[in-house]
Structure 1
Amino acid sequence: MPSTDPLLDVSGLRSAYGRIEALHGVSVSVHAGEIVALVGGNGAGKTTLLRSLSGVQPVTGGEIRFEGRDISRLSPHARVAAGIAQVPEGRQIFAPLAIEDNLRLGAYLRKDTEIADDLDHVYDLFPVLKERRRNPAGGLSGGQQQMLAIGRALMSRPKLLLLDEPSMGLAPVLVDQVFEIVTRLRDKNGVTIFLVEQNAFAALSIANRGYVIETGEIAMEGDGKGLLTDERVREAYLGV
């Protein structure tokens, strides 16, 4: 069961691109053991929020607390070291490198002796990556590249996994596979996940809780299944 204190607690977060503010005081929280979904249309601020959480996008106001600590000014690599890993939109794998080299890059900050064990664990999750581990990553299909991107993030041993549009560009059958993987990471591996998705139905179907973001502001929040049945969400994002 999720804990009572948030693992991630974001309050009044603001971020801008030059003079244009993209986030207008966003507040969200994620508890350990949850999948929390953030859904919304193009340009709503979903990716900007994730980039702000991972430290790639500067914030101009508000606070990001992780395990009770204010990390709003930490560098991206310091946030990875603290336990936050992002799977970026579009996967962004290193296509010429071998699959295994891509995975090992996810552990670049680690100095412990258990990296090989975690590599075996990723291969257990995604057997196709093991079968082709010496091959260039660019030869993988879109769905397999998404598995690789998730596996690479898992190699940092994250306490919080940020997933940015994992279904983008995938065929429907592969979308189902990706969301099965996300659910398994929570249920079998205990990974806490903040999931940003345009596919509102798929995301809210597996989420413990969800938020709807519109033009840089949180418009609605609630448990995943509750949002799925909300008439406003159904009309705006589910087409029903």
Structure 2
Amino acid sequence: MSIGEVLSELRPDFPDTTISKLRFLESEGLVEPERAASGYRKYSRDDVARLRFVLTAQRDQYLPLRVIRAQLAEMEAAGATPVALRLVGADPMPDDDEPAELVDTRCSRTELLARTGLADSSLVEIERLGLIVCRSPGWYDEDALSIAAAVAGLAEYGIEPRHLRAFRASTDREVGLYAQLLAPLARQKDPAARARAAETAHELAGLSQALHAALLRAGLRDILER
């Protein structure tokens, strides 16, 4: 398969995947496609299975690439094949007769409210607080949908949007900290550098989420054990 064919096969399950990202994963040693005499990359089914494993570990477990690389090495040392790796760590390959459709995560205001159960007044408030941004020309992205769903869930416990100011302030501080790390890579015109910046951002987000969850669990445990 060519790199374009691989991208077409992976995108239904991993919409954010790009050719630059596939090249970046190759540069990191996570996949090693063969090269035709003309120099073009030629991917096997095993290569695609390996990519699925990597992308699934990133998406579902927020694992850094070094951890994924170590997992692959351990499994291969145990005699696992790339197909087995896919079955253990990733979603099944889409059926060739029933290709998966790309999911459009954009939604209108009405759709966002219907899908999350968030009250319109609450949406107005969290937009005012800067927790959600409406993209031009009037649609909301996947992150906005996730935020709205979380706010709606918290509302069931009596936590109102006005209580969430601290979340916005804390996130802004994190963004400022990580921006210092990402800016040098993001400013480069080299696609590989920009892909590395995107991967680093993904890993930082996952690590921050894990840290926040652990700190929260630890704090709540102290309260529950009193």
Same fold (TM over 0.5): no
Normalized per residue, the structure richer in strand is: 1
The structure with higher relative contact order (CA 8 Å, sep 6+) is: 1
Q: Normalising by the residue count of structure 2, what TM-score does the alignment of the two structures yield?
A: 0.22
Query: Higher helix proportion, which one?
Result: 2
